[in-house]
Structure 1
Amino acid sequence: MLLRAVLFDLDGTLVDSLGDIATAMNHALQQHGLPPHPEAAYLRFVGEGVAKLAERATGGAAPSLQGQVLATYHAYYDTHLFDRTCAYPGVEAALAELAADGVRLGVLSNKSDDFVKRLAARLLPGVTFSAVYGERPGIPRKPDPTAALALAAELGVAPDACGFVGDTSVDMDTAKAAGMYGVGVTWGFRTAEELRAHGARAVVSSAGELLAALRTAAP
């Protein structure tokens, strides 16, 4: 095993959360007199933090209205976090095997930090994460590499001995900017073509393939 640590995105990578995100945002939009969107539209809306989600879902409405929608979304999502969201098949077992190999595991998401911690703890109870972080004040969101580099340092691992797994161009751009080994997963919110175009070193379509790719990575 050449990688000593692996960082994972959350939404679309470890957990399938699209339905709950779409329902919560559509609820917020309707509460403020705005039209809802088909669930599939949220495949393109998510990935760059909740403020960008609100901007896209509202069609670039005035910042004050975006703020109101965001507050309503947050309050609703807080109590509906686990309605439909679940871990992807085989992911928990694959991560547990990595941990058994001695690989340190972390989560780095652009989702609100509290939500990330709650989702990881409840939906992946069999995985020992060394650190779990979402969006936090004063720390740039992905694809800025600041948070990824800080997390690698916290785990005591050099960036070039660290993998970064995600399902969007944002994740692959983060991996590249941080000097980490980027692995894209195709079961999430974006396409294999997008992942490859943004520098994925490997693209996988199952938890088994993910485990194999990380175990044989050659940074």
Structure 2
Amino acid sequence: MHPFIVFDLDGTLMDTIASITHEVNRTFQANGLESLSVETVQTLVGNSSAYLIDHGLNLAGGKDLGKADRKRILDEYNQNYYDHPIEGSAPYPGIVDLAIWLKDKGRKLGVYSNKPDPIVHRVMDHFFPRGLFDAVSGFREDLPRKPDPTGLLQMIEEAGFKREDTLYIGDSEVDGILGENAGLDTVLVTYGYRESEDLAAFTFPKVDSVEALTNYLKTGKGALS
């Protein structure tokens, strides 16, 4: 039984891919670059906005851009997304009810994301009841990005828990590696931005829907009944 449950954001709690793709393309088009498909953006999400933009530029006609231009375009994207993080985003159906159920069972809840910290807080404040999540953290310059476990382990410690108290839930290879690096019990979801085959290298339990995740948390290993 895990008293502290930490979720990834994009592809786990929230379906944000339409919003992310729109802001990527808004930024790229303003810089004379090609647009990317939702499917392409989806393969790039999970590491960080820096990874998304850097690799996206290589696919959108910006392969020869230097560091200064790449940094400028990244900053433009982050500002565009900070200004418009809501339209085209939504929690996965059933996920808010699951979080409320966990809270009612006395669990503490966290969110740990590679999305820039200010954007994470804007999204969480808009879509989830205030106070539902006890710890919310996105990428900050003072901490390394996932899958480095430093920030997540710091969150766990600051929340007053230990590794063995914590369950981490994510949807990507980055989350799987993070779970391994942090030494945490981990569940990977395949209803988000990765398919089962993308996560085949990981031995963690995998669930293919919010309903299946809910069932796992209620009846599976570490059941919360």
Give the TM-score, by structure 2 length: 0.91
2:206 to 196, 203, 207: 203
Distance 1:180 1:107 in 2: 15
C-alpha RMSD over aligned residues: 1.6
1:121 to 122, 125, 149: 125
Alpha-carbon deviation of 1:141? 0.6
Residue equivalent to 1:107: 111
Deviations 1:161-215 (A, max 9, x none): 211111101011111111111111111111122224134x211122222123234
Deviations 1:25-49 (A, max 9, x none): 1111111122111111011111111
Alignment of 1:14 onto 2:18: no
Alignment of 1:189 onto 2:188: no
Distance 1:10 1:96 in 2: 16
Unaligned residue ranges in structure 1 (runs of 5+): none
Distance 1:168 1:182 in 2: 12
Alpha-carbon deviation of 1:127? 6.3
Distance 1:19 1:27 in 2: 12
Query: Map of 1:135-174 to 2, 5 A cutoff?
Result: 135-174=139-178
Alpha-carbon deviation of 1:4? 1.2
Task: Provide the secondary structure at the position in 1 that maps to 2:40.
Answer: helix
Residue equivalent to 1:40: 39
Give the TM-score, by structure 1 length: 0.93
Distance 1:21 1:110 in 2: 13
Q: How many residues align?
A: 217
For the 8 Å contact 2:81–2:119, the answer to whether it is kept is: no
For the 8 Å contact 1:3–1:217, the answer to whether it is kept is: no
Distance 1:78-1:64 versus aligned 2 partners, 3 A rule: same
Alignment of 1:91 onto 2:91: no
Alpha-carbon deviation of 1:75? 2.4
For the 8 Å contact 1:96–1:126, the answer to whether it is kept is: no
Distance 2:156 2:221 in 1: 17
Unaligned residue ranges in structure 2 (runs of 5+): none
For the 8 Å contact 1:20–1:81, the answer to whether it is kept is: yes
Alignment of 1:66 onto 2:70: yes
Alpha-carbon deviation of 1:74? 1.9
For the 8 Å contact 1:202–1:213, the answer to whether it is kept is: no
Distance 1:126-1:94 versus aligned 2 partners, 3 A rule: farther
Distance 1:32-1:120 versus aligned 2 partners, 3 A rule: same
Distance 2:210 2:29 in 1: 37
Identity of aligned residues (%): 32
For the 8 Å contact 1:8–1:14, the answer to whether it is kept is: yes
Task: Provide the secondary structure at the position in 2 that maps to 1:197.
Answer: coil
